[in-house]
Structure 1
Amino acid sequence: MYVYRKLRDGDNWLYTVGFFDPEGQWHPESDHLDPEIAATRVAWLNGSRSTSQEAQP
């Protein structure tokens, strides 16, 4: 399952989309400055195809 993480990038926040494998290792897929775009991407990757093309990285 894909999720997004809020990470500090200098003075800004970065929302990184990715997933944890069974061993707990993080696998990033894309980075976003806007949490709504990150959430849309997560929904799309998890199977929700009702979102717009903005779900593309």
Structure 2
Amino acid sequence: MIRFILGLFILFGAVGADDYAIEAGIQGPPIMQTVLLSLLGLSLMLWALPKLSQMYDDQ
């Protein structure tokens, strides 16, 4: 569960930083930084999914 939440926060942070820069009218982070952080967050979330499904399928 911690991996999933951490991945979600990383994903939100990557996308949120880019969105904030667009709204503020400043230059945002490089696109590769946004893509790599998003992929890191998604990979953490995907890594946690088998454990989460196993944990909640038993109930």
TM-score normalised over the length of structure 2: 0.29
User: Counting helix residues as a fraction of each chain, which structure ranks higher?
Assistant: 2
Greater radius of gyration (CA): 2
User: Counting strand residues as a fraction of each chain, which structure ranks higher?
Assistant: 1
